[in-house]
Structure 1
Amino acid sequence: MTLSERVDTLLGDKKELAKQIALVAAPILIFLWFFHPAVLDPTNVSWLFQKDWGQHVLGWHAFRYGADGFNHQNLLAHPTGLSVIYTDSNPLFALPLKPISPLLPANFQYIGPWFLFCICAHFYLAYKLLQRHAPSFWAALVGAVLLTLVPTLFNRIMHDTLVAQFLILWAFYIYFEITSPRGKAIHWAIMLGITGFIHPYILIMVLALWGAEQLRRVWPQLMAREFIQVARTVGVAILTLLAPIITLGLSGAYAPGQSAGSFGYGFYSMGLDALFNPSRKDFTFGGLVSVPQDGGQSMEGFMYMGAGLLFLIVAAIVLFYRSEGARTIRDTLSKSVWLIGPFVVLFVIALSSKVQFYNIEIFKYETPKALDGVLGIMRASGRMFWPMAYFMVLLAILTVYRTRLKTVAIILPLALVIQVIDIAPFAKSVHSETAMAANRTVYQKVPSKLWDDLITNADLVSFQPANAHINKRLFYELTWRSVSHAVPVNTMYAARPHPRQTQLERIAHANFNEGKLDPDTLYVFFNKCQAPAGAQHRLRELDGLFILPPVKMLDKLPQVPQVPGIEYDEDYNFTWNALGSCFLEDNWLSPDSKGVWSRAGQPAELNLPLADRPRHDISLSLSLLSFLSGNKTKVYVNDRLLTHLDLTTQITDHEIVIPRRWIKGKSLNIRLEPDLEASLKPSPKASASARKLGIRLYDLRLSETKG
């Protein structure tokens, strides 16, 4: 070998090494741009005790310590329990890790490493999709980076299993790049089976692409009347479809009594402006045209592409009409024709029953009742546009590849630069979500070690009311402590609530309010409410929380806290995390993020503890509404009829003067009783569910009148 040949070989080896380094470094750098590296430590769990992450990691933790079946645990939402798929705990990891759980550290999580895996798999599949078509390695590399820097991918980090959007790229890879029928069938079976372990929403998306593949094969056979081939193709398709059916079953999707559907279809939709309206300001260019979207659209309907990808798509369209080379993309378009039908279906589902553009409702329609169950499974319907978004980017990149090298060298880097500049503030926001991984303190809300004694001496930890959303960090920390000792908890935030468990929680809360308490249960108050009748002697305080310890542990906490009374001229609202929820007595439903509903046609009571007895008459201010026009409601104070209120379908403020002589002791009992003899007509704008509700209470205020 001559010297020149040796130099060429050496340079070639270095170039090949540089390519390999670039392929490894690119996804890692993308990961570090969006995530704090401390999340990769599997023993670091504290950062997960927020938002949906706590649900997912607790589901795994409970399955690890309290499995009562192959895929089920009963430590959370006791006694019914939940399957790992209904706590979104990634059965792909939870099921194989369960048998080796005794070998793992006491605190163990796989969500952080999962994020790195998803980003690397996403980048790798993007590169494999583009590699054969790219005019050079670097063009393929830049294209893969662009196909990875789709904001939708990182906007879902709070729902970690939905970061598995590499599965969509895998489906496109099977559709476009694998030519052997046998190879396709094997790939589809493996990919669909894995998706069944990860998340049903992504499974619906990739099944749409799988359906396009089946159409592409079966239709020509039908046209040629090759019915034996049709039977074989359909048979192979059915066998392929068995894979996700089996893995969903292994994940616990078919648990007895569990519903896969829920409310929300039509609320969590996608607006027609979603591709170019980020509905948030943390984008350099996108923030300039950002307009808040309606309700659930801002999260589930988020589909902003980023200025760089929008530029790339527009550039590809222009090139298609102006460049002969770009028009050769028609061969790919001809292969894509079978995707049109599934894409239309996904698009209609994503828009749902309420079609909007920049918060302007274009039209709305009622979905058939017969479809409620099916549509309830896809309640977060806005997500269904993801495959189309990725296809648009993929097609744009492939179109640019068909042009001159000079054009490729200008368009792709320019698109990347614009995209990076645009999403840089967004990347910073996303990174901040995992920044608390630097603080490894597990118990920040409940640091006292006395909790361990209380929990181990209890048969059950009962949160009252049973609503984890009131204070997620508190719930997650204390539940982690409980599950670590294999002590069950009475509730859980689930992906799909179990109807039987929901009913049991309502019954348990009613028993709690009536003072029917278990001596061996540790009751934890989300708000500093008065203890139920007959249990005041059991009320204690630990780490600022009101609790009723197990009776045998009462001497561990001798201090009885002072329950706060209502202060005059203070506003008290009735959201789930506000003190007003402590005043709710009979016939109220669970408070939500705005207020609380009473049960239709039932008298609803409030018990208002006073900080001190008034010196004058009291003015009581209430904010109320009703979906029943002409709702005349009687107001009783300490069982005495005081006045009538005329409620409307709009929020109205009502002032009621309560004579001082009516007030005995330091409490006020307020009863709102609908006049059933009144002629009530539902508002035409009222939904079917709203018509079953009574009075909506938002807030109240007590003020002393001037004597």
Structure 2
Amino acid sequence: MPDNSSAPYHTVLKFAAPILLFLLFFTPDMLDPTNVGWLMRGDWAQHFLGWHAYRNGADGFNHQNLLGYPTGQSVIYTDSNPFLAFPFKLISPLLPDYFQYIGPWFLLCICLHYFIACRLVSRHAPGPWSALAGAVLLTLLPTLYGRIGHDTLVAHWLILAAIYIFFEIGDEKRKWIAYSVLLALCGFIHPYILVMVLAIWGADWLRVLGPQWQAKDIKGLGVSGLKMTLTLLAPIIALAISGAFSGSSAKSGGFGLYSMGLDAPFNPSNKSFMLPFLSVQQDEGQAFEGFQYLGLGLLFLIGAAIWLYRKSEDSRTVKEVLIKARPLKWPMIALLVLAISNKIQIYDILILKLPLPDFLEDLFNIVRASGRLFWPIAYLMVFLALLTLYRSRPKTMTIVLSVAVVLQFMDLAGFATQIKGLTARASDRTVFTIAKSPEWDKLIKDSDLVSFQAPSVHSNQPLFYEVTMHAVSNKVPVNTMYAARDNLKQSALEYEEYKRYQSGQLNPRHLYVMLNKCPAPKGAEHRLRALDGIWIIPPLGLETGLKTIPQVPTFEINKPHPITWDSPAACLFGQGWRLPERVGVWTEGARAEVNLALPTPALTAMTLDINARAMKAAQVDVFANGVPVGRFEMLKKDADYSVTIPQAVAAQSQTLNIRFVVTPPKAPQKDLKPEHLRLNISSLTLKTT
């Protein structure tokens, strides 16, 4: 059809497009607000349970204490979308017991995204069909749907809205009112998107401040500074209302780990796309948070626009828009630098990793998942490419737009199936698949607290979330919770409780749930029970009728034991050790030990292999059953170490006690403090020789 056609089916397709896109990537059953079972996995469970706890246990306007008791968490730190949580909390008594807004939110985001994309391109497109194609392409960035696991980050429409304000609103008063509303929305939805929108907002201020600075217009600079301050109050107030300043630390670890590779725009790092040979697997952090693949259609569109700009005088008339976009240059460069981070990598090749001073690393860890910050750049590239194409000859534009749309849909077909599979469970309304027994509700109702041990949600997320769902539904608090940012006070309380648990100081009114099947502490072995195969210690006196746990298995020799927060080997590290991490476990101080229950007394000498590192270069002595068996000069980086345990020492008992003692190195080291004398072990192997 000609681009100026206003055929009826164009109107139908124009309004049906966002619904069709939603159905392409999402399972429609998730739109039922009473359907919550599909949310009991991954970050969805964190977000839903944050809302569920807020409506059942709010102890303040934006705060609840059912999760991470006694400190609790603000709604924003469970990523529970304060923008929707607050109004639904007001009508909570009218809502069913199970109520979720995450599914409808996905539909709202796709519709708003497409609507703003239409507004953004319609004034520039030469006709209705080219405008429709442009809006669809702006709603087909893989990164939009790749964030399905983190629902609030699907609000890419906020980024498009900022681009719309920058380019399309000319009246200064309307512009700053629009920015204030948009920044406030970002403060209620997600701080990362707020950072991206602030970059575009900052570029608009550079457009105003630049001429004033050059003209030395002091009065104008003062007025502009006042307007900037007033505009910034909107997101600050929104963040305060959402609970962002509640005591949790804004920083976290991970800057550089969750970065973007230089190849990200053209490397899917995912074999579901049309040309799998383009895809080279990246490390876990970059493959997810650094996922910035544009798709074949958009890569073709951008390439064609660059070629047309160089070859076609018609296309070069877009220069007026490019001049208007110049203030975006430095803010976008800043976002790009942060997205790449200090870890400069292309495909799986590390080019350079720049060391950062501690104060800079702490600052950048506020945006630890910095790979996301490329999103505004991607949308600007697509938008400016569309504008360039719209200025070209009609036949050229029609061909390029058609090819771009077809290529993008073809490239995303497998990816769409993969993404839709993530919500397929919504067609099954089952809520509990692990903690299924009705006994859970009975036990929890008779408990003052559900205490997960060790208090590390990542040890077994599905189990944690299902038991927590039982607890929150019965308005009984739990001792921990995965939060967007740690509350240092709560972390300290959880660790103190963990140490009391390890020493056998159990509260008789608490229900203890083992996230990893670890032995009960001394003195509580007789109370260890199983429910749905989950190891628990019920409140005192409630053990009757529950199946007794079988004997704890012995340590397997001649087999490597990696130490992660969800590995069986994590159970070996109790008193004297910190909580296991994603990789490895630290000693609490300079001395710590592990006890290995052997299948039979040792009949031969044995070899102990460990992969370990020290906090600072240090000397480490190893003792087996109290006898010194080795000494290492241990480095700050991971390395393999090995000691031989004589048969006479190993055979003293069926339990082999291994003790590590960390002392200062032989060579003096500057700024070495007692707290630096600590050891991290990431794997352990005991072999017969």
Equivalent in the alignment of 2:39: 48
CA shift at 1:413, angstroms? 0.8
Equivalent in the alignment of 1:641: 628
AA partner of residue 516 (structure 1): Q
C-alpha distance 16-237 of structure 1, shift in aligned 2 (>3 A): farther
C-alpha distance 573-652 of structure 1, shift in aligned 2 (>3 A): same
Greater shift, 434-443 or 542-551, is seen at 434-443
CA–CA distance in structure 1, aligned partners of residues 222 and 638 of structure 2: 61
Residues 1:203 and 2:191 are matched in the alignment: no
Choose from 274, 289, 295 the match for 2:264: 274
C-alpha distance 132-460 of structure 1, shift in aligned 2 (>3 A): same
Q: What is the total number of aligned residue pairs between the two structures?
A: 682
CA–CA distance in structure 2, aligned partners of residues 643 and 288 of structure 1: 49
C-alpha distance 15-693 of structure 1, shift in aligned 2 (>3 A): farther
Counterpart of 1:555 in 2: which secondary structure? coil
Choose from 430, 442, 452 the match for 1:441: 430
CA–CA distance in structure 2, aligned partners of residues 205 and 632 of structure 1: 47
Residues 1:492 and 2:476 are matched in the alignment: no
Is residue 527–residue 577 contact of structure 1 (8 Å, CA) maintained in 2? yes
Is residue 628–residue 680 contact of structure 1 (8 Å, CA) maintained in 2? no
Is residue 606–residue 650 contact of structure 2 (8 Å, CA) maintained in 1? no
CA–CA distance in structure 2, aligned partners of residues 680 and 476 of structure 1: 48
CA–CA distance in structure 2, aligned partners of residues 381 and 628 of structure 1: 26
Greater shift, 103-112 or 644-653, is seen at 644-653
C-alpha distance 226-394 of structure 1, shift in aligned 2 (>3 A): same
CA–CA distance in structure 1, aligned partners of residues 58 and 470 of structure 2: 17
Residue correspondence of structure 1 range 73-472 to structure 2 within 5 A: 73-224=64-215, 226-255=217-246, 257-285=247-275, 287-472=276-461
Choose from 534, 537, 542 the match for 1:548: 537
Residue correspondence of structure 1 range 574-653 to structure 2 within 5 A: 574-599=563-588, 602-610=590-598, 612-614=599-601, 616-617=603-604, 619-627=606-614, 632-644=619-631, 647=634, 649=637, 651-652=639-640
TM, length-normalised to structure 2: 0.94
Is residue 630–residue 680 contact of structure 1 (8 Å, CA) maintained in 2? no
> Kindly, what percent of the aligned residue pairs are identical?
48
AA partner of residue 607 (structure 1): N
Greater shift, 692-701 or 60-69, is seen at 692-701
Greater shift, 260-269 or 646-655, is seen at 646-655
Residue-by-residue CA offset, 1:34-88 (whole Å, 9 max, x unaligned):
1111111111112112221111111111111111100011111111111011111
CA–CA distance in structure 1, aligned partners of residues 193 and 513 of structure 2: 37
C-alpha distance 702-229 of structure 1, shift in aligned 2 (>3 A): closer
Residues 1:476 and 2:443 are matched in the alignment: no
CA–CA distance in structure 1, aligned partners of residues 56 and 74 of structure 2: 14
C-alpha distance 567-220 of structure 1, shift in aligned 2 (>3 A): closer
Residues 1:695 and 2:673 are matched in the alignment: no
Is residue 41–residue 112 contact of structure 1 (8 Å, CA) maintained in 2? yes
Is residue 49–residue 472 contact of structure 1 (8 Å, CA) maintained in 2? no
Residue-by-residue CA offset, 1:510-564 (whole Å, 9 max, x unaligned):
1110001100000001122211111112111111111110003122425343222
CA–CA distance in structure 2, aligned partners of residues 225 and 700 of structure 1: 67
Is residue 192–residue 367 contact of structure 2 (8 Å, CA) maintained in 1? yes
Is residue 630–residue 678 contact of structure 1 (8 Å, CA) maintained in 2? no
Residue-by-residue CA offset, 1:256-286 (whole Å, 9 max, x unaligned):
x32111122222222222111222222112x
C-alpha distance 638-369 of structure 1, shift in aligned 2 (>3 A): closer
Greater shift, 14-23 or 123-132, is seen at 14-23
Equivalent in the alignment of 1:667: 655
Is residue 611–residue 684 contact of structure 2 (8 Å, CA) maintained in 1? no
Greater shift, 180-189 or 139-148, is seen at 180-189
Residue-by-residue CA offset, 1:344-381 (whole Å, 9 max, x unaligned):
22122222222222333333333344434432211111
C-alpha distance 261-676 of structure 1, shift in aligned 2 (>3 A): closer
Equivalent in the alignment of 1:38: 29
Is residue 615–residue 677 contact of structure 2 (8 Å, CA) maintained in 1? no
Greater shift, 126-135 or 659-668, is seen at 659-668
CA–CA distance in structure 1, aligned partners of residues 265 and 69 of structure 2: 43
CA–CA distance in structure 1, aligned partners of residues 182 and 505 of structure 2: 52
Greater shift, 660-669 or 153-162, is seen at 660-669
Is residue 448–residue 543 contact of structure 1 (8 Å, CA) maintained in 2? yes
Equivalent in the alignment of 1:3: none
CA shift at 1:336, angstroms? 0.5
Equivalent in the alignment of 1:71: 62
Equivalent in the alignment of 1:25: 16
Residue-by-residue CA offset, 1:198-220 (whole Å, 9 max, x unaligned):
00010011011111112222333
Residue-by-residue CA offset, 1:274-329 (whole Å, 9 max, x unaligned):
111222222112x2122223452222221111111011001001111111110110
Residue-by-residue CA offset, 1:468-508 (whole Å, 9 max, x unaligned):
11111111111011011111111111100001111111111
CA–CA distance in structure 2, aligned partners of residues 178 and 677 of structure 1: 65
Q: Mind listing any 5+ residue stretches in structure 2 that lack a counterpart?
A: none
Greater shift, 216-225 or 63-72, is seen at 216-225
CA–CA distance in structure 1, aligned partners of residues 395 and 595 of structure 2: 76
Residue-by-residue CA offset, 1:669-692 (whole Å, 9 max, x unaligned):
22122354644779xxxxx99x94
Residue-by-residue CA offset, 1:370-394 (whole Å, 9 max, x unaligned):
4344322111111111111100000
C-alpha distance 561-97 of structure 1, shift in aligned 2 (>3 A): same
CA–CA distance in structure 1, aligned partners of residues 283 and 269 of structure 2: 9
Equivalent in the alignment of 1:5: none
Residues 1:524 and 2:513 are matched in the alignment: yes
Is residue 464–residue 525 contact of structure 1 (8 Å, CA) maintained in 2? yes
Q: Mind listing any 5+ residue stretches in structure 1 that lack a counterpart?
A: 1-13, 683-687
AA partner of residue 144 (structure 1): A
Residue-by-residue CA offset, 1:596-616 (whole Å, 9 max, x unaligned):
23346x122112233x43372
CA–CA distance in structure 1, aligned partners of residues 153 and 46 of structure 2: 14
TM, length-normalised to structure 1: 0.92
C-alpha distance 220-572 of structure 1, shift in aligned 2 (>3 A): closer
Is residue 315–residue 392 contact of structure 2 (8 Å, CA) maintained in 1? yes
AA partner of residue 148 (structure 1): T
Is residue 630–residue 679 contact of structure 1 (8 Å, CA) maintained in 2? no
Counterpart of 2:91 in 1: which secondary structure? helix
Is residue 159–residue 376 contact of structure 2 (8 Å, CA) maintained in 1? yes
Residue-by-residue CA offset, 1:219-271 (whole Å, 9 max, x unaligned):
3344445544443333333222211111111100111x321111222222222
CA–CA distance in structure 2, aligned partners of residues 529 and 31 of structure 1: 44
CA–CA distance in structure 1, aligned partners of residues 547 and 164 of structure 2: 66
